[in-house]
Amino acid sequence: MQASLVLLSARLLDPATGGFLPETALAVSDGRIAALGDDREIRALAGASTTVLDLAGAVLAPGFVDGHTHPVHGAELTHGLDLSACTDLAEVREALAAGIRELAPGAWLQSWGLDPNAFGDLPVSSAALAPVLDEAPALLQLFDAHSALASPRALEIAGVDGPRSFDQAAEVVCDDAGRPTGLLLEDAAVELVASAAPQPTYEEQRGRVAEVLRAMAATGLTGGHVMDAFGHSLSFLADLEAAGELPLRLRVAPWCQPGIDDDGVRALIEQQGAGGRLWRTDGVKLFMDGTVDNGTAWLERPDCHGESTHAFWPDPEAYTRVVRDLHRAGVPTATHAIGDAAVRHALDAVEKAQAEHGRLRAAGGARHRIEHIETVPDDTLPRFAELGVVASMQPTHCCDFTRADHTDNWSRRLGEERAARAWRCRDLWDAGADVVLGSDWPIAPYPPLTVMAGARHRRPTRDLTEPPHGPEQALTALEALRAVTLAPARVAGEGHEAGGLTVGHRADLTALAADPLTTPATDLAEVPVLLTAVGGRVTHRVAGVG
3-class DSSP assignment, residue 335? strand
For residue 523, the model assigns a pLDDT of 98
Short-list 421, 266, 288, 290, CA closest to 343: 288
* Cβ neighbours around 476 below 10 Å, total: 15
Q: Are 46 and 52 in contact (CB under 8 A)?
A: yes
- Tell me how far apart the alpha carbons of residues 75 and 73 are, in angstroms, rounded to a whole number: 5
Over 90: is that where the pLDDT of 486 sits? yes
The model's confidence at residue 254, banded by pLDDT at 50, 70 and 90, is very high
468: which DSSP letter?
A: P
Helix residue ranges, H only, 174-315: 187-194, 202-218, 233-242, 262-271
For residue 104, the model assigns a pLDDT of 87
For residue 106, the model assigns a pLDDT of 84
The phi-psi region of residue 458 (left if phi > 0; otherwise alpha if psi is between -120 and 50; otherwise beta) is left
Query: How much helix, strand and coil, in percent to the nearest 5, is found in the chain?
Result: 35, 25, 45
For residue 364, the model assigns a pLDDT of 84
Over 90: is that where the pLDDT of 404 sits? yes
Over 90: is that where the pLDDT of 169 sits? no
Q: How far is CA 522 from CA 18, 425, 453, 462, 487, in A?
A: 20, 18, 7, 11, 23
For residue 33, the model assigns a pLDDT of 98
For residue 210, the model assigns a pLDDT of 97
For residue 142, the model assigns a pLDDT of 92
The model's confidence at residue 235, banded by pLDDT at 50, 70 and 90, is very high
Question: What average pLDDT score do residues 514-524 get?
Answer: 98
For residue 105, the model assigns a pLDDT of 85
Q: How far is CA 480 from CA 56, 290, 454, in A?
A: 25, 26, 9
CA-angle at 62, arms to 58 and 67, nearest 5°: 125
Higher per-residue confidence, 513 vs 77: 513
Question: What average pLDDT score do residues 267-293 get?
Answer: 97
pLDDT digits (tens, 9 = 90+) for 132-155: 888 889 999 998 888 999 999 999
> What domains appear along the chain, each with residue ranges and CATH number?
66-70+202-499 (3.20.20.140), 80-195 (3.10.310.70)
Q: Are strands 171-174 and 180-185 parallel, antiparallel or unpaired?
A: antiparallel
DSSP codes of every residue in 395-459? HHHHHHH--TTS-SHHHHHH-HHHHTTBS-HHHHHHTT--EEE---BTSS---HHHHHHHHHH--
Question: What average pLDDT score do residues 198-219 get?
Answer: 95
For residue 464, the model assigns a pLDDT of 96
Phi and psi for 346 in degrees, rounded to 5? Answer: -65, -40
Mean pLDDT lowest for which of 230-234, 419-423, 509-513?
Answer: 230-234
Q: Are 9 and 55 in contact (CB under 8 A)?
A: yes
pLDDT digits (tens, 9 = 90+) for 94-112: 999 999 999 888 899 999 9
Over 90: is that where the pLDDT of 318 sits? yes
Could you tell me the pTM of the whole model?
Answer: 0.93
The phi-psi region of residue 427 (left if phi > 0; otherwise alpha if psi is between -120 and 50; otherwise beta) is alpha
Higher per-residue confidence, 74 vs 64: 64
Give strand pairing partners of 172.
184
CA-angle at 92, arms to 89 and 98, nearest 5°: 140
Q: Are strands 284-287 and 279-281 parallel, antiparallel or unpaired?
A: unpaired
pLDDT digits (tens, 9 = 90+) for 331-371: 999 999 999 999 999 999 999 999 999 999 988 889 999 99
For residue 160, the model assigns a pLDDT of 94
Mean pLDDT score across all residues of the chain: 95
DSSP codes of every residue in 77-132? HTSSEE-TT--SHHHHHHHHHHHHHTSPTTPPEEEEEE-GGGGTTS-SSGGGGTTT
Question: What average pLDDT score do residues 187-194 get?
Answer: 93
Cis peptide before 131 (omega within 30 of 0): yes
Over 90: is that where the pLDDT of 1 sits? no
The phi-psi region of residue 4 (left if phi > 0; otherwise alpha if psi is between -120 and 50; otherwise beta) is alpha
Report the side by side order of strands in the sheet with 64-69: 64-69, 221-226, 249-252, 279-281
Mean pLDDT lowest for which of 51-55, 56-60, 113-117, 383-387?
Answer: 113-117
Give strand pairing partners of 322.
none
Question: What average pLDDT score do residues 508-516 get?
Answer: 98
